[in-house]
A and B are shown apart, each in its own frame.
Chain A
């Protein structure tokens, strides 16, 4: 039987090792390890465990492990980013050596430890939802393996002497002298004890039995693990970011060169997921058009004839003063009443630049760990923490915006000085668009763009009605480009460049085909040529909306650039395109000149999809990978305290107030830092809830028997007799009712003898002795296989029951006595 268990264990460990390597491969992106260990596992199962042709010697195994460790160590030292992968490889090499050895308890133990460590490494290097999905079969097989292993070790220990010698000086002395201390005075030479295996055991130890056992246990473990995972108070506001070998995919450099040649390659790689949620209703906010997600804002254009045109930022992020993005309460009340306030959540894959994305105008939302910084001049947000971060990582943050109305994104972006309260503008010493910046934003070398000027004039001439106002002129130029009649969108930039012309001028004059950067550049320069401040905004415009998860999936080919042009309040009102109450001051009008096409992002038509894997990955990221103290507090524990009707809400609030006052009065700064991660309400809730559960649990299981005494399964069943012998218990119950109790050490024959005398003398029932004798004889015959002393011993079960019935009828009218035991 042990061999059978060993074989099953070998199969289980082979599967488990393969699955663990698969989990590692999710993070490393390489299938080498699962393929390697899968192959070795199959070979070892056949050659080592089944046929027994090849078994690696123990010491050779150690040598193999050392070699494997050395191999992995060289990779470990070679690259800093792949260290965890090297550790995983080292574990796999060790497992391979163990697979090829003859299996025993030691090998199985070591395999288990290595596989568990491999799972730990896999958890550190992957963030794929497949990890969670694969964890379920891994859990099931692990539990099955552990149950099997428990059976295996129990059977191994069968027949072993359980008495171990105590560790004392004599014992150590024997070991020191290389004398086997256990053989000294060994009584096993004189006493041979051999367990006898019951043939029924093989039926009880079938494969199906431990599979049946593993299923509910796996379910229980899973339920407990989920509760534990979500209720365990987190101590950090952030979450771990998985290091990865692949290059960052998010973020733009702080310049834009119009120097692409040939076919522009687009990638479908995931950049981020963006979700919109109404801050009042907490429901997902449905957009009617694709949103503009701002990234980098480029203001300065450098033109080099014969070379390329380059858009650059006025100031790099690293050179701007560090200002936190203002919170919601800093927003000007006039703006707070307008539009729908929407929380926009960005889940970025790895980013290579400190610039972040937003929907302008924006503000910070309280209760989030990540604190973005803000550049008021161009509504850029960024994080100084990302500057110089060698391990680019995933970032998740949420910002608020009031730019949406009925699902549509408003085109006019106010200046930060107007959007936020005056106090804020004074505090940061920012007074809006200055004359010097106005000059910079309208700078253009007109002599380099004759074609562009000519086109501008033509457009204005063609639309005399629209060009009466400045805003109208800008919109006419935007419409001209976006109509796609004369200038088309293409990613094929294979046409030869005229080295004598600026890249934008070449686009305007010669090619008339290009992508969004060319269109945006042309419009921006065209606007500048008319004295309108204009700048380029580079970001994303996703149109793939996942209806299951209510989020936009942003991919690399969703990258987009558009133009923002500044108009004064008067210019805006002059256009009559904006309601006066919406225009408190001047603002930046978004203009998107890129003509819509299948390849471009312009147009804003949403492609609604129900992509399940993407949805689950987002759910996995949001609810598992990025669970932190703040999210836990707001979604799990916070839900208990947010409802005003909830009786517990007051206590939570009271605890919060108490803690805050304690902080203010007693704690110094260092303690306040501790308080940031320690949540007293959370701790109080855990202790309180745990106490309630413990009390309920204890009460239920300890007191239920008292309330339900008649339930037969709850009665003591220690001496319950087989069904065929229940009549004897019945007789004893009748006697007990009458007042005769059996002593614990009395045999049935003694009971019969004494009860007969007692019934005859005390209760005047002489015939009861005969019945009792017959019943006792039958009891002896059935219980011990004896022949009864009376002929009635062979009576059938029916007749015995009849006897018991007679006895009961005869004693029915007798009044019970006080319990008395005869000796």
Chain B
């Protein structure tokens, strides 16, 4: 199955699209008077009472016309909505603060009667990381849907915050033709969408930091000889080239010095520990704490940037309300999973840092570099896990660690992002 096929399948299952039309039908149709309808109904009752008491036939005639309008309004309202079903189309990997488009396709199964002026009231609520979010929504209008035809309504969505959002249920309403009554039906299908963190820009200082690391690795590679790289090609010798890179057989054939070229395999091996700590008194804003959001944006940007650069050895432990650890983040697919984790993670007043370090130990044995991005001051004691054996302690002793307290602005030199 190709990626595109898989994506289509996923979309269908996510939004609960059912192939059987009997199953996809919406709930029962409700109708009620609009404000204008109440006015008219009140006048109608007034007229009818007056007409009944005094036998005013012209009033009865007027009341008949109004009653006719109400009856026709009621029937068309109901008939317009009973045959409608919806299909929602969401993007795959939206990002916070970047606009994306959501499309809702409305299908009219009625073989004879079109539907007019259908308003789609789409609801949207952020379900993770915080559950105390107020739902919001928007209203779209589809002017006309022919019999057995479909029409789409779209809206542009810009979500400032990462997280998991739930779209739906959607309410389809219409007051056509006279606006005296409003009919509505609720399509129960909902869809959840993970909005990944906003990506910022790593500054030159961060690049310098990486370069220094790489220089150290280059020296190591040079010492390691040719085994450290993969053969790439041949070129003529240039001043400064090592004698060990000379390809003697080609030199003899060309009668000119030729050297081997190697693909530089300079890998950065780094373990990142995200400490999403939040004070208890700030618990209420766990889904919208600026420091936490900055940490997550920085981490997402860092991972994205490093994944683009090459095959670095990256491992990350996210210590929030849950502990999530990912090692060997090399492919875009794995990166996507980590970004999804970052999207829904919530801070905690007691993040499990020892557990995080413990799970990162295999990586730290190789990389010996640990970057802690935290929302509080360094507290190395918390990082000491219940190490089992001397070997684990030895690993930790050799690890070079760096603690960045985002709350104090220690990542500001390395990272820029658009303020929320």
Contacts and interface: CB of A to CB of B under 8 A. Distances in A.
Nearest to B58: A123
Contacts of A713: 111-112, 148
Contact of A190 (B18, B154, B159): B159
Given A153-B175, A784-B8, A187 B133 contact: yes
B371 interface: no
Contacts of B92: none
A239 B57 contact: yes
Nearest to B42: A113
Nearest to A783: B8
B177 A135 contact: no
Interface in A136-153: 139, 143, 146-147, 149-151, 153
Contact of A191 (B24, B136, B153): B136
A670 to B, nearest CB: 19
Interface string B147-163: 01000111111111100
Interface string A183-206: 001111111111110100100110
A109 B38 CA distance: 11
A226 interface: yes
Interface stretch (A157-165, A415-423, A611-619): A157-165
A153 B179 contact: yes
Contacts of B54: 236, 240
B67 interface: yes
B221 interface: no
Contacts of A626: 57
B331 interface: no
Contacts of A119: 62
A233 B116 CA distance: 36
Contacts of A232: 60, 64
A196 B119 CA distance: 13
A786 to B, nearest CB: 6
A716 B141 contact: no
Nearest to A780: B5
B68 A158 contact: no
A251 B173 CA distance: 61
A486 interface: no
Interface stretch (A380-388, A426-434, A744-752): A744-752
A371 B212 CA distance: 117
Given A123-B56, A158-B140, A162-B121, A196 B101 contact: yes
Contacts, number: 247
Contacts of A240: 54-59
A786 B5 CA distance: 10
Interface stretch (A216-224, A503-511, A579-587): A216-224
Contacts of A716: 21-22, 109
Interface in A724-756: 744-745, 747, 749-750
Contact of A784 (B4, B20, B179): B4
Question: Size range of the interface on A?
Answer: 35 or more
B231 interface: no
Given A124-B59, A158-B139, A195 B153 contact: yes
A109 B39 contact: yes
A577 to B, nearest CB: 49
Contacts of A163: 123, 134-137
Nearest to A745: B13
Nearest to B20: A744
Nearest to B101: A196
Given A124-B59, A718-B21, A151 B47 contact: no
Interface in B277-296: 288
Interface string B52-82: 1011111111101101110110000000000
Given A149-B179, A195-B138, A745-B13, A113 B61 contact: no
A555 interface: no
A409 B109 CA distance: 71
A750 B13 CA distance: 15
B36 interface: yes
A221 B63 CA distance: 11
B314 interface: no
A225 B155 contact: no
B160 to A, nearest CB: 4
A131 B58 contact: yes
B88 interface: no
B117 interface: yes
B19 interface: yes
Contacts of B157: 191-193
A151 B117 contact: yes
A312 interface: no
Given A123-B61, A719-B21, A744-B18, A146 B137 contact: no
A112 interface: yes
Interface residues of B, number: 84
Contact of A213 (B59, B85, B116): B116
Contacts of A236: 54-55
B32 interface: no
Nearest to A210: B177
Contacts of A784: 4, 8
Contact of B1 (A160, A627, A719, A749): A749
Contact of A146 (B12, B156, B158, B179): B179
A225 B64 contact: yes
A120 interface: yes
A229 B137 contact: no
Contacts of B4: 784, 786
Given A225-B61, A239-B55, A717-B111, A195 B133 contact: no
A255 B133 CA distance: 91
A675 interface: no
Contacts of B148: 713, 717, 720
Contact of B55 (A116, A234, A745, A789): A234
B61 A624 contact: yes
Nearest to B85: A718
A814 interface: no
A196 B89 CA distance: 14
A681 to B, nearest CB: 20
A149 B56 contact: no
A117 interface: yes
A209 B135 CA distance: 36
Contact of B136 (A188, A624, A749, A789): A188
Nearest to B161: A190
B62 A154 contact: no
Nearest to A705: B111
A161 B175 contact: no
Interface string B2-29: 1011001100110000111110100000
A91 to B, nearest CB: 12
Contacts of A158: 119, 139-141
Given A158-B139, A196-B155, A221 B179 contact: no
A196 B159 CA distance: 16
A714 interface: yes
Contacts of A196: 101, 154-156
Given A161-B137, A162-B171, A191-B160, A113 B109 contact: no
Nearest first, the 7 A-B pairs at minimum CB distance are A718-B21, A150-B179, A162-B121, A224-B68, A193-B138, A225-B64, A123-B58
Interface of A: 109, 112-113, 116-117, 119-120, 123-124, 126-127, 131-132, 135, 139, 143, 146-147, 149-151, 153-155, 157-163, 185-196, 198, 201, 204-205, 209, 213-214, 217, 220-226, 228-229, 232, 234-236, 238-240, 624-628, 713-714, 716-720, 744-745, 747, 749-750, 780, 784, 786, 789
Given A159-B138, A162-B139, A213-B177, 9 more contacts: A113-B43, A146-B179, A158-B119, A195-B153, A221-B68, A223-B68, A224-B67, A719-B21, A745-B13
29 contacts: A109-B39, A112-B36, A117-B43, A120-B46, A127-B58, A139-B65, A146-B179, A147-B177, A147-B178, A150-B175, A157-B139, A163-B137, A191-B157, A192-B99, A193-B137, A195-B154, A209-B144, A224-B64, A225-B61, A229-B60, A235-B55, A239-B55, A240-B56, A624-B61, A713-B112, A718-B107, A745-B12, A750-B1, A786-B2
